[in-house]
Amino acid sequence: MGEKGWPTADQFLQNLPFPVLGLDGHGCVTFANRMACSLLDRREEEILGMQAEQLIPGIGRTRSDRNRNIPFCGSRWSVWRVMCSRRRFLLLTPEEKAPSAWEENALSLDADTVLRSLYDDVIITDSRGKILKVSGDFEKIYGKRSEELIGKTVRQLESEKVFQPSITRKVLKEKTKWTDVQRTKGGRRVLVTGVPVFKKNGDIFRVICYSRDITEPVRLQEHLNAMEQEMARLQSELDALRREKRDDGGFVAVNGSMKRSLEMARKVAQVDVHVLLQGESGVGKTAIARYIHQQSNRAGGPFIEVNCGAIPESLFESEFFGYEPGSFTGAGSKGKAGFAERAHGGTLFLDEISELSFSAQVKVLKFIQEKRYYRIGGTRPQESDFRLIAATNRNLENLVREGRFREDLYFRLNVVPITIPPLRERQEDILPLIRHFLDKYRRKYRREKELDAGAVEGLLKYSWPGNVRELENLMERLVVTVEERVIRMRDLPEKMRQPEENFSALFNGDRTLPAILAEVEKQILMEAKKRCRSTTEMAKVLGISQSTVVRKWHKYFPPGR
């Protein structure tokens, strides 16, 4: 060691993280540190005595303090000529990392200058972690003046939380070079590399720690990471909005209940969970089933729709599971693939599932559970990978209680129930739907049509028992059949005309108010009877008790009449 705890020139240069070559007056190599030997892939004894120009072509072209852009080991380097302990050395640094302080120095640089140029601070300790030498602006980074540290141990500084962890202690424990990030008492982050200096017997003699304050770069990186995460979140939301706009399936939803139903459909589309769509006829169950399929990872596969109410019980098995050639009288010579087989890789949509017979329910349940089936006349089991969506316009829970639908099949289907509200409960959606369908069929049939205020009012006041399907069909019919450009009240079906017209018919001057009210009550009961399946459901819709419904019905429609 030199004075004041410094290592000798050879010890110091040996552990620098840059290639270093020592030269004599003839340009022959007298010293090569570990990094130089590693990059040249030679032992030091093989290098000593060789001309530097032989090892690194172009290194001796100029006598100035710095050569720029010297090619070496596949990279570009800056070569620095320095004097240390009255000896000449060449230091190679990556071109982009060249220390700016050297640009202003003359040919002779002592060890202190080199250290201060390379690092923010340097700490040298003995084999017990006692600090012998401190160089650099230690107070700026660690909050302690250099003179306060001489004689203290790194364990003391660590316990005082001047820095954590101590890299010197790790080097002493592992007996190897160690790099880690320290946190200081002031909250700064410092990249520290500790290098051991060994005695000839292999014991550690000194530990040299080089430090670089990386607080600002780390903060910048964290800020960039946070910005990237925020950008990813915004991109995800933007993609979702684009997807919603692009693949909304033609849905118009202002009503809160309808928007929640569509949002649930979007969520479940991403996973192969069973979905049960519930709602009256015409509310759009098939459209939502197709939407779920299109938004799922099975969108490239088939969408197989099965109307369970349209298949005769005697043909159900052959239609659903298919059959082998010649398996029964009348069977095709080539056999036939059933719905189960055709749905492989896609979505199987069972509409009107409540209409299945009990025997068919048993077969469908087994198929859903196992995803295996036999063709009629077949002996080998077939497998089908599908996503199941079922739909019904009836209350399956009531059917289960009445013994008309299997409970185990109901629970198998009812994993994620989605209820689509009827149009009469979506008043805020009626006008947007009118405009949507009017525009759709104007474009389709190339006819300029518009609705006057009276027609719009009549459409808004109608109860729409056929729901969205009824509204769409009517708008198509009006666009096609009305000859004038403007569609007026008189063009609407009689049942949709303004209530005042109906009241005019009721009030002809010959009937009293109680008689008129009775007639209105009778018509309301008749309409409720058409829409509801039981007096209990009628009572719920009308907001009166079931016994009141029965009593009023018998009043206007006596039994046996």
Residue 240 maps to a domain = no
Selected residue with higher pLDDT from 264 and 188: 264
CATH code of the domain containing 201: 3.30.450.20
Give the pLDDT score at 481.
Answer: 93
Alpha-carbon distances, residue 501 vs 101, 262, 494, 511, 519 (angstroms): 97, 38, 10, 17, 15
| Count of the separate structural domains present in the chain | 5
Location of structure tokens 């004075």 = 3
Q: How far apart are CA 523 and CA 544, in angstroms?
A: 16
Amino acid at 222: E
In terms of Cβ atoms closer than 10 Å to its own Cβ (0-12, 13-18, 19+), residue 470 is middle
Residue 460 maps to a domain = yes
Confidence of residue 196 (pLDDT cuts 50, 70, 90): confident
**Contact predicate 125/154, CB 8 Å:** yes
Alpha-carbon distances, residue 212 vs 51, 118, 555 (angstroms): 35, 9, 96
104, pLDDT greater than 70: no
Question: Is residue 322 located within the same domain as residue 404?
Answer: yes
If you average pLDDT over every residue of the chain, what do you get?
Answer: 81
pLDDT in tens, 335-373: 888 899 999 999 999 999 999 999 899 999 999 999 999
pLDDT in tens, 452-489: 888 888 888 888 888 999 999 999 999 999 999 999 98
Alpha-carbon distances, residue 432 vs 253, 436, 437, 543 (angstroms): 8, 6, 9, 29
Question: Is residue 451 located within the same domain as residue 369?
Answer: no
Give the pLDDT score at 242.
Answer: 56
Which residue, 170, 187, 138, 97, is CA-closest to 179?
A: 170
Give the pLDDT score at 415.
Answer: 93
Least confident of 57-71, 83-97, 523-537: 57-71
> End of a domain among 213, 230, 245?
213
299, pLDDT greater than 80: yes
Question: Is residue 388 located within the same domain as residue 291?
Answer: yes
What angle do helix axes 546-556 and 535-542 make, rounded to 10 degrees?
100
Which residue, 326, 172, 348, is CA-closest to 272?
A: 348
Question: Is residue 269 located within the same domain as residue 382?
Answer: yes
Averaged over 209-229, what is the pLDDT? 76
Write the Ramachandran bin of 43: left for phi over 0, alpha for psi from -120 to 50, otherwise beta: beta
- With DSSP H G I counted as helix, E B as strand and the rest as coil, what are the percentages for the chain, rounded to 5? 45, 20, 35
Question: Is residue 413 located within the same domain as residue 296?
Answer: yes
Residue 239 maps to a domain = no
530, pLDDT greater than 80: no
In terms of Cβ atoms closer than 10 Å to its own Cβ (0-12, 13-18, 19+), residue 337 is middle
CATH code of the domain containing 270: 3.40.50.300
Question: Is residue 152 located within the same domain as residue 291?
Answer: no
Q: What 8-state DSSP symbol labels residue 296?
A: S
Averaged over 201-209, what is the pLDDT? 84
For residue 138, the enclosing domain spans 121-213
**Contact predicate 420/261, CB 8 Å:** yes
In terms of Cβ atoms closer than 10 Å to its own Cβ (0-12, 13-18, 19+), residue 143 is middle
Question: Is residue 19 located within the same domain as residue 77?
Answer: yes
Residue 230 maps to a domain = no
Give the pLDDT score at 147.
Answer: 76
Averaged over 124-147, what is the pLDDT? 78
pLDDT in tens, 315-338: 888 889 988 886 766 666 678 888
> End of a domain among 213, 242, 266?
213
Question: Is residue 389 located within the same domain as residue 442?
Answer: no
Q: What is the distance of C-alpha 515 from the center of its chain?
A: 64
Residue 312 maps to a domain = yes
Q: How far apart are CA 22 and CA 37, in angstroms?
A: 12
Q: How far apart are CA 487 and CA 484, in angstroms?
A: 7
Question: Is residue 342 located within the same domain as residue 400?
Answer: yes
Question: Is residue 113 located within the same domain as residue 78?
Answer: yes
Give the pLDDT score at 463.
Answer: 86
Question: Is residue 47 located within the same domain as residue 167?
Answer: no
Residue 39 maps to a domain = yes
Question: Is residue 273 located within the same domain as residue 396?
Answer: yes
**Contact predicate 49/119, CB 8 Å:** no
Residue 236 maps to a domain = no
> End of a domain among 153, 182, 213?
213
Residue 57 maps to a domain = yes
pLDDT in tens, 381-433: 999 999 999 999 999 999 999 999 999 999 999 999 999 999 988 888 888 89
Percent of residues, the chain, with pLDDT higher than 90: 25
Beta bridge partners of 446: none
